[in-house]
Structure 1
């Protein structure tokens, strides 16, 4: 499988896909998701899901970004069907977001009539602009600077209007800017029994990990090779666990 650029999306299409995953990344790494989240997204595609990763550039107006990435995604789907890269309509569509990407999927699910089989929300945060962007705190003392919607408005939108019933929430034990616990309380009240919360080892950057290839040295597997493979497993343990949780939630019966 090779990455394709389709209608401003980056796309991976496996043979006979069984579902579609719409991916949105974090605020400062979202402009090239096929590079910054490459390993994780390719693992999802290898399990039979078409991946459509929509780039975006961050601004204060998150509502407009949500609208634009939704339109870009839908344009990409139509082009995929028109060119027969996707042949079967009606495949289940899942949203998957990291950090700000979670907020955008939550806005899409609250403001627009979209059909989603579920959303995967990794490392959600909903901080005010002064807590998220360098120098904004100094500017806000001179002029009002805030995200649209504000954090309070965002929570009310999710509480009152969010329509995607099945959700996987993932938080990492060393993530100092995660606000998944508050989101879980809101969603669990709205959709009792349909929201899964998983806490994994790792930090806010874990989904950005790239699995490096450490080949065996020489023709014989030596103790040095065994040590290098063990070190690799330790380094990428949290990333592998994230992959397993995502894939098992998408299809609990599939081996991963």
Structure 2
């Protein structure tokens, strides 16, 4: 019998339990759409479930303070690992898999990818301290907030990550362009986005982490950028998070797995209606035949490949 794809609320998340999982995919989406992941990312998540993964959809919580949200995801993983195992055992499902942290994957879309980067770098607080040297209070808040978390639970090192259209958001990108003056004001008075884009890039550049990372980008993405941005002027190229991420992560012990697909920034968003995927966004493509959609196939392939890398890391 085909496993039933159905979400249930658990802790602060939504969980779709697979009866015989080969792993757990923890997903966090982008601003707005990520607040209702079980609706807006339903087609994408259903495909991962049908491939054999238990799905944890972590609702996006908007804030200009990104560290507390990232750390809350870390705490949520610890809670869910215990509770999911108990529910699975009661249902007669395979449950031992939930006890091993390396069976957990992280998948992020858009701004959700920034949280995954912060989670990974928590394994190297020295790098964090160096990159926020001009903001000692920021580092101290981070260090204080994880003091009660056991050492072996303080990072996602060893857990593969898939970044989809990564958007390393700053205050300027979080506020509409006509209000750019407000973004500059908020940064000036210390109320803007933290960590900044520059600080986040510093974390990644100085660490030796991110060896189990894959990235999917889209050729018409004007938010996260695309591979073609490498051909643009230095000023325009600098704005492309995709170009930056590929350049940084291709020289790791395991070069980043990366593929660019046709589509725009919101390609992962959509629900299935008949033989089509509808993305609920009239400003995007709105509807697409399933036979022309390759995102889920590539995502599944990448998850399998980074898992193989984890075994030999």
Q: Tell me the TM-score normalised to structure 2 length.
A: 0.69
User: Cα deviation per residue 1:18-48 (whole Å; 9 max; x = unaligned)?
Assistant: 1111101002222221111111001101111
- Specify the alignment match of 2:301 in structure 1: 248
2:73 to 35, 44, 69: 69
Say whether 1:17 aligns with 2:28.
no
Alpha-carbon contact 1:200-1:241 (below 8 Å) kept: yes
Alignment of 1:168-183 (within 5 A): 168-178=214-224, 179-183=241-245
Alpha-carbon contact 1:187-1:195 (below 8 Å) kept: yes
- Specify the alignment match of 1:140 in structure 2: 183
CA distance, structure 1, for counterparts of residue 156 and residue 169 of structure 2: 26
SS at match of 2:250: helix
Alignment of 1:105-120 (within 5 A): 105-111=116-122, 112-120=154-162
- Specify the alignment match of 2:235 in structure 1: none
- Cα separation, partners in 2 of 1:185 and 1:213, compared to 1, 3 Å: same
CA distance, structure 2, for counterparts of residue 79 and residue 202 of structure 1: 37
- Specify the alignment match of 1:229 in structure 2: none
SS at match of 1:244: helix
SS at match of 1:211: strand
Alpha-carbon contact 2:114-2:169 (below 8 Å) kept: no
- Cα separation, partners in 2 of 1:162 and 1:108, compared to 1, 3 Å: farther
CA distance, structure 2, for counterparts of residue 56 and residue 75 of structure 1: 18
What value does the CA root-mean-square deviation take over the aligned residues? 2.3
1:29 to 25, 33, 37: 33
- Specify the alignment match of 1:5 in structure 2: 9
Alpha-carbon contact 2:215-2:256 (below 8 Å) kept: yes
CA distance, structure 2, for counterparts of residue 34 and residue 98 of structure 1: 14
Q: Which moved more, 1:3-12 or 1:81-90?
A: 81-90
CA distance, structure 2, for counterparts of residue 80 and residue 205 of structure 1: 30
1:154 to 200, 204, 216: 200
Deviation at 1:52, TM superposition (A): 0.8
Deviation at 1:237, TM superposition (A): 5.1
Kindly report structure 1 stretches of 4+ aligned residues shifted beyond 6 Å.
none
- Specify the alignment match of 1:46 in structure 2: 50
SS at match of 2:182: helix
SS at match of 1:208: coil
Alignment of 1:215-254 (within 5 A): 235-236=289-290, 240-251=293-304
Unmatched runs of 5 consecutive residues or more in structure 2 = 123-153, 225-240, 277-286, 306-313
Q: How many residues align?
A: 234
- Specify the alignment match of 2:151 in structure 1: none
Unmatched runs of 5 consecutive residues or more in structure 1 = 216-232
User: Cα deviation per residue 1:231-255 (whole Å; 9 max; x = unaligned)?
Assistant: xx953456x3000001112236xxx
CA distance, structure 2, for counterparts of residue 62 and residue 162 of structure 1: 22
Q: Which moved more, 1:192-201 or 1:34-43?
A: 192-201
2:265 to 204, 216, 228: 204
CA distance, structure 1, for counterparts of residue 180 and residue 40 of structure 2: 28
User: Cα deviation per residue 1:143-200 (whole Å; 9 max; x = unaligned)?
Assistant: 42421101110001112236341111111011001121101111223x1443111100
Alpha-carbon contact 1:123-1:180 (below 8 Å) kept: yes
